[in-house]
Amino acid sequence: MSIQSSPTTKQLAQGLGQFSLGLGTAQVLLPGVVGRVAGVQPTRGTRRVMRVVGLRELGAGAGILGSEPAPLLWARVAGDAMDIALLLNALRSRHARRTALVLVSIIGITALDIYAATKRTREMGGKSDLLRSPMEAKAAITIKADPETLYSQWRDFELLPTFMYHLEAVTTSGDGRSHWVAKGPAG
């Protein structure tokens, strides 16, 4: 799917991507300096957070410059929300005036991010190959029990309603059949 951006939208997206690369590089390489500029006391913890935020900025910048920018511009908006939350927390520091100035700057950048993401999404008609591609999600749960016990409990259908909330009851009969009562979407 090839969709042309207006020159203004494309330039804005590229500018935001380059800004992300620059800020992310500074946050990763000089977290204490960036923290002091933001009015944040440089500690081991704040430097670590600054580096993580910097890595996020680098990823967003590289993605915006290297691929379809609309979804990644929205990712910048989400990152901006996180930055605003972190700065609101930092307003309690003794350098609150500096932090407030940085906060106002981030709010302005957030407005640009929202504008660029909205405009690019509209140009695409709300569609993107990246958004339409299948996503794979995996999860794992570790249960401290032997496999035989777990299997026997899983095969005891009458126990299923204790952890499957959409099931109201399961009644088994001796002939290998069972009667299930479940809640539907309308209740």
Report whether pLDDT(7) > 70: no
Integer angstrom CA distances of residue 155 from 27, 148, 159, 179: 53, 11, 9, 14
Q: 67-103 in b/e burial notation, b at 16+ Cβ within 10 A?
A: ebbbbbbbbbbebbeebeebbeebeeeebeebbeebb
- The residue-averaged pLDDT of 36-61 equals 85
Residue 125 zone, left/alpha/beta (φ > 0; ψ -120 to 50; rest): left
Q: Which amino acid is at 46?
A: T
pLDDT-above-70 percentage for the chain: 86
- The residue-averaged pLDDT of 145-155 equals 85
Report whether pLDDT(133) > 80: no
Q: In this structure, how many other beta carbons lie within 10 angstroms of the beta carbon of residue 25? A: 14
When comparing pLDDT for 31 and 41, which is higher? 31
Report whether pLDDT(25) > 90: yes
User: How far apart (Å, rounded) are the C-alpha atoms in residues 162 and 154?
Assistant: 11
Q: What is the pLDDT of residues 85-124, one digit of tens each?
A: 888 887 777 777 888 888 898 899 889 888 888 888 787 7
Mean pLDDT for the chain overall = 81
